[in-house]
Chain A
Amino acid sequence: MAVIPQTEFQRRRARRKWMGRAFHAMCLLSVCIALGMLAVLLAYLLIQGITGISWSFLTGFASRHPEQAGIKAAILGSIYVVVVAGVVSFTLGVATAVYLEEYAARSKFAKIAKINIANLAGVPSIVYGILGLQIFVHSLHLGKSVLAGGFTLALLVLPIVIVAAGEAVRAVPPSFREGSYALGATRWQVIWHIVFPLAFPGILTGVILAVSRAIGETAPLIAMGALTFVPFSPDSPLSRFTVLPIQIFNWTSRPQEGFQEAAAAGIIVLLVILLMMNAGAVILRNRFQNKWD
C-alpha cells in the first residue's frame, strides 16, 4: 500500500533530474571560464614573449637597450631570496606549529596565538616591507641585502607555513601518538619519530604555497630597498639584489616596445621557475605520502 500516490513521485523525480543536470552544467561552465581565462593569459604571454627567450636573455644583465635586456641578475636574486625565505619560514613555521599543536595544545595561549597568526596572513605585504626595512636593514645592520630581503619575505609567508603545518600536525591520527606513548616514548620522541614524518607532506604543501607566494612579491622588496636596475650578480648574502617581479615591473613601465616583449619573456621565465619549484616539491611530497595509506 503506497503511502504517497504514484503521481506525486513522478513529478519530484523529474524535477530532481533536471536540477541535477543544471547544477552539473553550472559547474562545468565555471571550470570553462576559469580555465579559459588562464588559457587566454598564457596564450597572450607566449605570443608576446616567446620570441624574447634566448640564451643571451637568460644570461645577460639588464641594460638600457631593449635588445640587450637580460634577466640573469633577477633570476639569481629571486632564487637566493626565495631560498632564504623558504628555509627560514620552514624552520620557524614548523617549530611554531609543533609547539602550538603539541606542547601548548588546547591552552588559551595557543588559541590566541592561532587567531593572531591567521590575521597576520591578511596584513598588506607592503607593511612587511616597511618592517623589514626598519628591523633587518637598519636595526640589524644587514643593509638592503639578499639576507634582509629573504627574512622580510620569510615573515610575510610565515603565517601560511604555520597554518598549513599546524593542520598537518593536527591531522596525524591520535592512535599513532597513543601507540607510541604506550611504548614508553617521551613527548619529543613521539613528535620526532611519529608526528613529524607523518605531517611532512602537509608541511611541504605549506612550504610550496609559501614559496610560490614569495617568488611573486614585489612591493615589500621595493620597500626594503631592492634595486630595480642591477647590472651585476648578487655574490654574497649581504649584496644588493633584484628579483624577477621587480625587473618585469620595471620593463613594463618603459615605453619601448622591446621592453614589453622582454617583460612578457620575463613572466614566462618566472612561471617556469615557479612550476619547476612546485613540481619538485610535489614529487618530494608524493614520495613521503605513499607510506601513509
Chain B
Amino acid sequence: MQDQGPILQTRGLSVYYDTKKAVTDVDLDVARNRITAIIGPSGCGKSTLLRCFNRMNDLIPSARVEGQVLFDGLDLYGHDVDPTEIRYEIGMVFQRPNPFPKSIFDNVAFGPRINGFKGSIDEVVEKSLVRAALWGEVKDRLKASALSLSGGQQQRLCIARALAVEPRVILMDEPCSALDPIATLAIEELMRELSEDYSIIIVTHNMQQAARVSHYTAFLMVEEARVGFLVEFGESRQIFTNPEDERTEAYITGRFG
C-alpha cells in the first residue's frame, strides 16, 4: 500500500451500454485524502464514471467497461477481483437518501453485520454516527425508524452507514441535490472534515458546490461525436477562476448551449 500518489487512477476508461458509449477514454488521477469533483452537463457520463470506481456498473447487464481502474495500483477490473470486496473499501452515497426501512442503529450496523464483523457493533455504530456528525441528534433514539429523520439527517445516516465498513474512498453521487440549502451546507462541512481521513469523489451539477468543496475538479463533456470525455482536470482554484479550456469556461459561466 502506497502512502503517496493518487489513490485511484483511470487509464483509457470507456463504458458502453450495449453499443452506446457513455464514457470515452478517461485518464484521471484521484488525489489521496482530497475531495475531487466531477462536473459536466446532463448526460455527460459523470455518474457512469463514478460507478466504475466501485463496480456498481456490474449491476447493469448491458454495461461494459474497457480500460483500467487502478486502486493503489490494483486493477479493479482484474480477473480475480471480487466486486463485493471492493465495495468495503470504496463506499457510496446516493443522490436520494436511501436509508433502509429499519432502525437507525440497524442501518449503520447493516454493513458490518453482513461483513461478518465480530467486534462490538455498538462501538462501530457510535463511532460512525459521530464521524458523520449525527450522533448528538440520534443517540437517544437509535431504535427509532430511520425514515423518521429529516432529509439532511437521512443523508448523514447514509454517510454513517458507508463509514461503518471503514472504506478508504467515499463516492458521492450528487449527495445534496435532494436537500435544502442548510442541510446541503452541513453535508459540505462534513465532507471537508471527512477528507482528512478519506478520499472523496463527488459528482455534482452545482458549480458553486464544486467550487466550495473540492480541491480538484474534473470537467466531463458530451458532444455529437463523443460522449463522456474529459475536457479539463485541475485544481479547483484554477478551474473556477481561470480555466484553460474555453469549453470549461463556457460551462462554468453558464453559457453552455
Contacts and interface: CB of A to CB of B under 8 A. Distances in A.
Interface of A: 106, 173, 175-176, 178-186, 189, 193-194, 198, 291-293
Contacts of B168: none
A124 to B, nearest CB: 38
B42 interface: no
B61 A180 contact: no
Majority secondary structure, A binding face:
helix
A175 B173 CA distance: 13
A133 B96 CA distance: 54
The 9 closest A-B pairs by CB, nearest first: A182-B92, A184-B87, A175-B98, A183-B111, A184-B88, A179-B98, A184-B84, A291-B101, A189-B114
Interface of B: 54, 56, 59, 61, 84-88, 91-92, 94, 96, 98-102, 110-111, 114-115, 145, 147, 158, 161-162, 165
Contact of A179 (B85, B88, B94): B94
Given A183-B162, A184-B88, A176 B100 contact: yes
A63 to B, nearest CB: 55
B84 A180 contact: no
Contacts of A186: 84, 114
A185 B114 CA distance: 7
B101 A182 contact: no
A158 B56 CA distance: 35
Which of A176, A184, A185, A193 is most buried by chain B, counting CB atoms within 10 A of its CB? Answer: A184
A292 B84 CA distance: 27
Contacts of B100: 176, 179-180, 194
A193 B110 contact: yes
Contact of B94 (A178, A198, A293): A178
B85 to A, nearest CB: 7
Which of A106, A179, A293 is most buried by chain B, counting CB atoms within 10 A of its CB? Answer: A179
Contacts of B145: 291
B165 A184 contact: yes
A176 B87 contact: no
8 contacts: A106-B61, A178-B94, A181-B87, A182-B94, A182-B162, A184-B114, A193-B114, A293-B147
A182 B87 CA distance: 6
B200 to A, nearest CB: 15
Given A193-B114, A291-B145, A181 B101 contact: no
Contacts of B101: 176, 198, 291-292
Nearest to A291: B101
A182 B91 contact: yes
Which of A178, A181, A182, A291 is most buried by chain B, counting CB atoms within 10 A of its CB? Answer: A182
A29 to B, nearest CB: 41
Contact of B98 (A106, A178, A198): A178
Nearest to A183: B111
A275 B233 CA distance: 67
Nearest to B147: A293
Nearest to B107: A179
Contacts of A179: 94, 98-100, 158, 161
B98 A176 contact: yes
Which of B110, B145, B162 is most buried by chain A, counting CB atoms within 10 A of its CB? Answer: B110
A184 B115 contact: yes
Contacts of A181: 56, 59, 87
A180 B98 CA distance: 10
A291 B165 contact: no
A198 B98 CA distance: 14
Given A182-B91, A292-B101, 16 more contacts: A176-B100, A176-B101, A179-B161, A181-B87, A182-B56, A182-B92, A183-B88, A183-B91, A183-B161, A183-B162, A184-B84, A184-B111, A184-B115, A184-B165, A185-B114, A291-B102
Contacts of B87: 181-184
Nearest to A293: B147
Contact of B84 (A185, A193, A293): A185
Contacts of B61: 106
Given A175-B96, A292-B101, A182 B54 contact: yes
Given A189-B114, A291-B145, A293-B147, A183 B158 contact: no
A230 to B, nearest CB: 47
A182 B85 CA distance: 10
Nearest to B95: A175
Contacts of A178: 56, 59, 94, 98
Nearest to B100: A176
B98 A183 contact: no
B165 A183 contact: yes
Contacts of B110: 180, 183, 193
